[in-house]
Amino acid sequence: MRTQVAIIGGGPSGLLLGQLLHRHGVETVVLERKTKDYVLGRIRAGVLEQGLVRLMEEAGCAERLHAEGFVHDGTHVAFGGEMFRVDFTALTGTPVIVYGQTEVTRDLYAAREEAGLPIVYEVEDVVIEGADTDAPAVTYTVGGERQRLDCDFVAGCDGFHGVSRKTIPADILREHEKIYPFGWLGILSETPPVDQELIYSNSDRGFALCSMRNATLSRYYVQVPLTDSPDNWSDNAFWDELRRRLPPGPAEALVTGPSIEKSIAPLRSFVSEPMRWGRLFLCGDAAHIVPPTGAKGLNTAASDVQYLAHALRDHYVDGDDAGIEGYSAKALARIWKAERFSWWFTSLMHQFPDQTEFDRQLQRAELDFLRTSEAAQKAMAENYVGLPY
């Protein structure tokens, strides 16, 4: 089998890249390790920057997003038992959209299937061959048979544990990582959100986040040690702890109910460089991870996809390879800014095991500065709604 661009990974970044390239007349084949149902069963965040919304529009996949997504003009930040609001739209002219990553993926699957574009599921033992030559290929096993996909380019959208990044030689690849000494215990519940916008809370007991998927499905998180387990938390224990970490208003308004999903997510910052080796390109989690505090995971993947889709379009339509040559540097320049914001917001809102009283006082002072300074709020808002592509 042959195609122009082999896309490894059938999550949102691989599917979005495939759909954008299809709209430009570029052929793709998507290879996915799991089944479609498995991919759609993964619970992920859903705060979308306007850049991602525009890409979904460009891909012809934004109709349901606009019909069902929630426009959030700001967010709430709480500390010391009080809460203030950062107004994104007033400060930047731009809101964010709350629309679940699962729904983004579902819309992209629907578009690919409607166009009759190939997806190969349950592929195993993927090997990228000849990425540093003019004739790359991807070999893999499906249904017990070894297959070969010849191509012009390979897009590695296969996540942190995928094969794409590992294909780049060790003497070329540089990896930067920060592991945070805590995780997020999260639950999903069929309850109305406690507020129309997200609430980020810094309390003496640790961080908490009140989020949502839609008008009847809420997502809540509390900071816990990495050694903790979801089995240690009953639903009632979680709700009681969440209330303790919220200001009085939201704590009293909180509607509780049985959890339908409960898990602990570790937090890390990670960047690998370069994001291109020969005709292999890395996108999204294959190249970088951010802590979820700043809602940048899917959005940083989207900026990679935008740069790569346009670079490949320029190659095939205009014979221009400037975008291909500059892809890694351009993508990384934006990624590092998103990493900085996610690190800053994580450091601001969480309690650290080795934090001294001096550190804690500085944290409170910075939160108070954010509360009282329009300039500080504008800087936060610009980063939260998404820096330009």
- Section 93-107 average pLDDT: 95
Catalytic choice (99, 140, 180, 200): 200
Dump pLDDT digits (tens) for 63-94.
Answer: 999 999 999 999 999 999 999 999 999 999 99
Annotated catalytic residue within 99, 140, 220, 384: 384
* Catalytic site residue from 109, 221, 292, 307: 292
pLDDT, mean of residues 133-148:
97
Average pLDDT over residues 156-179: 97
Cα 312 to its chain centre, rounded Å, is 23
Active site residue 200: yes
Active site (annotated) includes residue 296: yes
Residue 45 has pLDDT above 80, yes or no: no
**Collapsing DSSP states into helix, strand and coil, what is residue 254?**
coil
CB atoms near residue 374 (< 10 Å): 12
The answer to whether residue 292 is catalytic is yes
CB contact at 8 A, 7 and 22: no
Question: What integer is the mean pLDDT of 226-255?
Answer: 97
What percent of the chain is predicted at pLDDT more than 90? 96
Catalytic, 34? Answer: no
Cis bond upstream, residue 274 (ω within 30): yes
Q: How high is the mean pLDDT of the chain?
A: 96
pLDDT of residue 236: 97
pLDDT band at 180 (very low <50, low <70, confident <90, very high): very high
Right CATH for 5-49+97-177+268-346 from 1.10.8.50, 3.30.479.10, 3.20.20.140, 3.50.50.60: 3.50.50.60
pLDDT tens, position by position, 284-317: 999 999 999 999 999 999 999 999 999 999 999 9
Closest CA to 211 of 96, 327, 379: 96
Distance CA 163, CA 359 (A): 40
d(CA 118, CA 37): 17
pLDDT at 213 over 90: no
DSSP single-letter state for residue 227: T
Classified as helix, coil or strand, 17 is helix
- Which candidate in 72, 288, 330, 350 is catalytic? 72
DSSP string across 289-341 = E--GGGS-HHHHHHHHHHHHHHHHHIIIII---HHHHHHHHHHHHHHHHHHHH
Is 72 an annotated catalytic residue?
A: yes
| pLDDT score, position 270 | 98
pLDDT at 215: 85
pLDDT of residue 214: 83
How many CB atoms lie under 10 A from the CB of residue 141? 14
- Which residues in 251-293 belong to E strands, given as ranges? 259-273, 276-277, 280-282, 288-289
pTM: 0.95
**How far is Cα 90 from Cα 355, in angstroms, rounded to an integer?**
35
How confident is the model at residue 140, as a pLDDT?
Answer: 98
- 42: pLDDT strictly greater than 90: no
Give the per-residue pLDDT at 227: 95
User: Which residue in 296, 315, 330, 350 is the catalytic one?
Assistant: 296
pLDDT band at 188 (very low <50, low <70, confident <90, very high): very high
| pLDDT level of residue 44 (50, 70, 90 thresholds) | confident
46 pLDDT above the threshold of 90: no
